[in-house]
Structure 1
Amino acid sequence: MTRPRSRASAGLPPITPDQVVDAAVRLTVRDGLEGWSIRQLAAELGVGAAVVYHHVGDRQKVTMAVTERVIAQVPVPGADLAWREWFGALLADVRKVAMHYHGIARQMVLLGPVVPSAREIIDEGVGVLKAAGFGDESATVYSYLVNTAFNLIAVEDDRNSRPEARLEHARMLADLADEPGNPGLAAMGEWLRERSADMGKLRAYDAEFYRYCVERALDGAQARLTAIRRRRRG
């Protein structure tokens, strides 16, 4: 059996760490963060798996590099914004970015802010909350707001990975509108009936629901800030 030629003998430049991560990002867009293996990544690059291990490391390290690359795309809002506007802008952009990379939101929920770009956002976000008056609760409030966002995105992301199953489930729930003697279920079914017609409508509903939940989370943080201020005055 003839062994495959090396890149050098084929006249090709050597693979770089950035190229490995670039390829892993492409596979994540196509198949999701958990949808590819190191062997598939190596095939995408036209090299052996040992090249990936040499330049970046095992799958966990490649996954972390992909997560860093994605989270780095989230713009940090301007420091001139009030705390509520700052987080409103941040969490809107988090969804815009994360929804392009299936599995990234779940990765952030499970592992937390372990990539450098997330740490930068934390530094800014906690600072904004401290300046607003949240004091010792600033880190907790930050975690509450960001985890709320990533959990919502992770659920939406998982649902959208199986569109036919999601449509069928939504239609089953919509049928509850015809349930006699169950006004709560009927109201939920009626609410879903129009939204369950196709994936486009469901995804528009997801965006609407995400904005609603983020606003209510911000309302909760605002109520807590009011209580903190009252406690300090009293």
Structure 2
Amino acid sequence: MTTEERPPLTRDRVLAAATRVADVEGLKALTMRRLGAELGVEAMSLYHHLPGKEALLDGVADALIAEIQAAAADVVDDATGWKERLRRTFLAARVVVLRHPWAPALLGARTTVPPRLFAYYDGIVGTMTGAGLSHRLAHRAVHAFGTMALGFTQELFRPEAAGGAADVDAAEADLAAMAERLPHLTAMVAAELHDAADPVLGWCDSQTEFEFTLALLLDGLERAAAAQR
């Protein structure tokens, strides 16, 4: 493609290319030089739109939230009741994050809140208070949901988030070594090893567990809402 045929460089185009690179090569591969190569431009030209690597990552995080917002908007229109609206919102967020498995690590590492995140959570709180839940109860619910609102659960120990990788052989060896000293924990882990087809974002973050936890929280919130009346 010649310079004349190349689309103009915009912030949105840069962020879309950054997302593609992260999807294919991982978050560590996302550098200004690699991004310039993806777009067919010199890395320095990217600084007009995003002044450095941290600004780039902040932009990718904000674009991710925009994608989650759009996915949620597509599924909640015909939802009946606040519980179903929240359930569909969180599951829509999960579909997005499963498309971008680097998302939990990126969001967990940001030192600034993505601008769109405030609007996203404002909608979640509005869904609850609009149904009669008090602001106090909505506040407690936001804390209880944690990162589930963003489509994933935060693992207590997750080597990938720190830049490592899960070593399956080492994990199995550790499991065998634990068997005698920690029989109950070992039996639980062995019983819950996930099928390869089960969408997983971490050691324990499977689709079944995500939906199970979400249902427990929504049911408990419904009981708390009834008690406040």
Partner of 1:199: 196
Asked if structure 2 preserves the Cα contact closer than 8 Å seen for 1:163 and 1:199, the reply is no
Q: Secondary structure of the residue that 1:73 maps to in structure 2? A: helix
Distance (whole Å) between structure 1 residues aligned to residue 99 and residue 159 of structure 2: 9
Match in the other structure for 2:89: 90
Kindly provide the amino acid, as one letter, of the partner of residue 225 in structure 1.
A
Rounded to whole Å, the distance in 2 between the matches of 1:219 and 1:176 is 39
TM-score by length of 2: 0.73
Identity of aligned residues (%): 21
Q: Which runs of 5+ in 2 are unaligned?
A: none
Q: Which residue of 2 is the match for residue 169 of structure 1?
A: 171
SS of the residue corresponding to residue 128 of structure 1 reads helix
Following superposition, the deviation at residue 73 of structure 1 comes to 2.3
Q: Which runs of 5+ in 1 are unaligned?
A: 1-6, 230-234
Which residue identity is paired with 2:214?
V
User: What TM-score do the two structures reach when normalised by structure 1?
Assistant: 0.72
Q: Which has the higher contact order (CA 8 A, sep 6+)?
A: 2
2:90–2:148 contact (8 Å) kept in structure 1:
no
Equivalent residues in 2 for 1:1-234, closer than 5 Å: 8=3, 12=6, 14-74=8-68, 75-76=72-73, 77-78=76-77, 81-109=80-108, 111=110, 114-116=114-116, 118-137=117-136, 138-150=138-150, 152-153=152-153, 155=155, 158=160, 165-166=167-168, 168-169=170-171, 172-173=174-175, 175=176, 179=179, 184-185=184-185, 187-192=187-192, 195=193, 199-200=196-197, 203=200, 206-229=206-229
Would the alpha carbon gap of residues 182 and 15 (structure 1) be closer, same or farther in structure 2, given more than 3 Å must change?
Answer: closer
1:4 equivalent in structure 2:
none
Q: CA deviation at 1:222?
A: 2.6
Task: Pick the structure with greater CA Rg.
Answer: 1
- Pairwise CA distance, 1:151: 8.3
- Cα deviations across residues 164-207 of structure 1 (Å, max 9, x unaligned)? 6146425743x479x46965235315513xx36x6335849711
How large is the Cα RMSD of the aligned pairs? 3.5
